[in-house]
Amino acid sequence: MDFQLTLAPMLERAGTLYPRVEIVSRRPDRSLHRCTYLDLALRVRTLAGALIAAGLQRGERVATLMWNHSVHLEAYFGVPLAGGVVHTLNLRLPPQQLAVIANHAGDRFLIVDDVLLPLLETFIRDARFERVFVHRSGQASSDHYEDYEALLKTAPDDGPLPQLNENDAAAMCYTSGTTGDPKGVVYSHRALVLHSLALAMADCFGVSHHDSVLPVVPMFHANAWGFPYVATLVGAKQVLPGPHLDAENLLDLCEREQVTLATGVPTVWMAVCAALDKSPRRWRLAPGLRLAVGGSAPAESLIRRFDAHNIRLIHAWGMTESTPIASICHLSPSLGEMSEDERYAIRAMQGTPVAFMEARVMSQGGAVPWDGKTMGEVQLRGPWVAASYFNLPELRDKWTEDGWLRTGDVVTVNEQGYLRIVDRTKDLIKSGGEWISSVDLENAIVGYAGIREAAVIAVPHPQWDERPVAVIVANEPKPKPEELNEFLAKRFAKWQLPDAYIFVEELPRTSTGKLLKSALRDRYRDYLNGRFSTA
Ligand code: AMP
């Protein structure tokens, strides 16, 4: 049977089998908006009809500039069901970059939250949107632009929706740009459907209709890791936090909506864990709550601290180019008997590739042995891995000649096939011809009492080519370099220890919360030549 894998049957299933399951959204004024999958299915159809009536052609892009809420979810389905491509703009990017990205993507229409109009005003003159529709929450007003609800009213009654092909483009995101300018990645219907099935598998996140899912990851970052799609597919309740992403608001939502699965980057979970440590009995959370963590590696200590609250942190790895999930870390029977410390060490790894994701780890000499020591770049192939960037043919060498995506992540693989990221290719430190992992040093440094965060970077050195320098955020009293060296010397050879420890108030981050090491490298480029000045 020829059955096209598109988003349409996913939504229809939710509307038919789970008509009363709720989608709860936190409004900017903190009140909660509630609708159901039946409401969603009807409004998505209306949006798709209205976009077609507005002249949207197959494959054309409709941008969103929105927080996580039910209207954004409408666009996640409504734009693709109209034959268009939903392009989520990252509202944390600098305004100039937003205009460049919208123009590069060729976005024709924009749907924007009223609370984000001040941001829109900063770049609208440089962008080329034909029409802008404002989703009003009543928090801000503007007569400049069209009203989103008025757009919905233009939908013809029961107009036909286009016949979709599974290889049609459905969504688009730009990478968060830890290395260079953001690049556009386009997702087909098929990629999103298969990615959702993979996420739902028991050995992945096991998402089911019993779940109440809270995507803290913004819907403008790699499709909120695909959770709005998988939650719809299985008919799980969705809890969308709007602009309120602080620990107290998230924990209140978790308690009130009995969230069973939430997704976020380590920074979010660090704040949540600190709030729980401070008031362990304040929130009555659902038993068996799981927290998906990724985007960057969580410290092993964070996994332990959440275990003490009976909350399971599940670590996964991926990237915008892979929709994003590539691997997940669960303790499998193949690992055999292990001590408690060994179990935690494994859980902090990036884990094994999910079903249908193929990973190979390559160094200059070919595939690396599975010895847990030899480093190589991990390369990916799979049904939801992008085959190119949108309109950037000059970046073709991101893919190997035999069709694998070069991730830029350097890993080791243990005997059971568990991947452990030791660095980005661009962040590895080459000292006297030997590689040093900045991630290993960072993980060890944050284990020292009073150190909150650490970034280890390569700094040019006249004799050794590069040497590691640690940039640290710490409580008072700050540790002395000799104390840190003595602490690290238990695990690292002398030549691997940082040449310097620099204490700062905060570390630079990208719009999606990843450490921006390129900014630190620029800043401390001359540090070991004695030419650096803090002025
Ligand atoms: P992005 O496309 O913005 O999501 O960034 C993808 C990159 O984030 C990956 O190539 C990794 O370098 C990093 N990353 C994502 N997940 C993890 C993780 N669990 N541990 C370490 N790094 C990660």
SS (H, E, C) 255-300: HHCCCCEEEECHHHHHHHHHHHHHCCCCCCCCCCCEEEECCCCCCH
C-alpha 211 to ligand 1 mean position (Å): 26
DSSP letter, residue 507: -
Q: CA end-to-end span of the chain, whole Å?
A: 69
Q: What is the pLDDT of residue 533?
A: 42
Q: Active site includes 321?
A: yes
Q: What is the pLDDT of residue 110?
A: 98
Structure tokens at 486: 């003595």
pLDDT 10s per residue in the chain (535 long)?
999 999 999 999 999 999 999 999 999 999 999 999 999 999 999 999 999 999 999 999 999 999 999 999 999 999 999 999 999 999 988 888 899 999 999 999 999 999 999 999 999 999 999 999 999 997 666 678 999 999 999 999 877 899 999 999 999 999 866 556 789 999 999 999 999 999 999 999 999 999 999 999 999 999 999 999 999 999 999 999 999 999 999 999 999 999 999 999 988 999 999 999 999 999 999 999 999 999 888 889 999 999 999 999 999 999 999 999 999 999 999 999 999 999 999 999 999 999 999 999 999 889 999 999 999 999 999 999 999 999 999 999 999 999 999 999 999 999 999 999 988 888 889 887 778 889 889 989 999 999 999 999 999 988 888 899 999 999 999 999 999 999 999 888 888 999 999 999 999 988 777 888 989 999 999 888 765 544 3
Helices (H), 457-511: 481-488
Q: Active site includes 435?
A: yes
Q: Is the CB of 443 under 6 A from ligand 1?
A: no
CB 139: neighbour CB atoms within 10 A? 13
Name which of 120, 68, 98 is nearest 174 in CA terms.
98
* pLDDT tens figures, 299-314: 899 999 999 999 999 9
List all residues 6 or more positions away from 24 whose beta carbon is below 8 Å from its beta carbon: 32, 33, 34, 237, 238, 239, 240, 253, 257
Q: What is the pLDDT of residue 534?
A: 45
C-alpha 260 to ligand 1 mean position (Å): 24
Supply φ then ψ for residue 284, to 5 degrees.
-95, 95
Q: Which ligand 1 atom sits closest to the C-alpha of 510?
A: 3
Q: How many helices (H) and strands (E) does the chain have?
A: 15, 26
Cβ atoms 269, 309 nearer than 8 A: no
Marked catalytic residue, from 149, 154, 358, 435: 435
Q: What is the pLDDT of residue 158?
A: 79
Q: Whose CA is nearest to atom 7 of ligand 1?
A: 319
Q: Active site includes 373?
A: no
Marked catalytic residue, from 358, 425, 430, 480: 430
Q: Is the CB of 512 under 6 A from ligand 1?
A: yes
Q: What is the pLDDT of residue 531?
A: 52
pTM of the model as a whole: 0.89
Marked catalytic residue, from 300, 321, 377, 453: 321
Sign of CA dihedral 106, 64, 208, 235: negative
Torsion of CA 274, 277, 279, 284, to 10 degrees: 100
Q: Which of 185, 409, 418 to mutate to test the pocket of ligand 1 (most atoms within 8 A of CB)?
A: 409
Query: Packing angle between helix 70-81 and helix 7-17, nearest 10 degrees?
Result: 130
Q: Is the CB of 350 under 6 A from ligand 1?
A: yes
With tokens 């919905």, the residue in question is 152
Q: Whose CA is nearest to atom 10 of ligand 1?
A: 319
Extended beta strands in 382-450, E state: 405-413, 419-424, 429-431, 434-436
Q: What is the pLDDT of residue 111?
A: 98
Q: Which of 225, 265, 300, 319 to mutate to test the pocket of ligand 1 (most atoms within 8 A of CB)?
A: 319
Q: What angle do CA 418, 419, 423 make, to 5 degrees?
A: 160
Q: Is the CB of 175 under 6 A from ligand 1?
A: yes
Q: Is the CB of 176 under 6 A from ligand 1?
A: yes
Q: Which of 296, 379, 440, 512 to mutate to test the pocket of ligand 1 (most atoms within 8 A of CB)?
A: 296
Q: Active site includes 494?
A: no
Do you find a cis peptide bond into 383, omega within 30 degrees of 0?
Answer: no
With tokens 């509307």, the residue in question is 15
C-alpha 321 to ligand 1 mean position (Å): 10
List all residues 6 or more positions away from 367 whose beta carbon is below 8 Å from its beta carbon: 360, 361, 376
Distance CA 147, CA 134 (A): 5
Cβ atoms 54, 151 nearer than 8 A: yes
What are the b/e assignments for 483-514, b being 16+ CB within 10 Å?
A: ebeebbeeebeeebbbbebbeeeebbbbbbbb
Strand 325-328, strand 352-353: pairing:
antiparallel
Structure tokens at 381: 């192939």
Q: Is the CB of 442 under 6 A from ligand 1?
A: no
Q: Whose CA is nearest to atom 22 of ligand 1?
A: 296
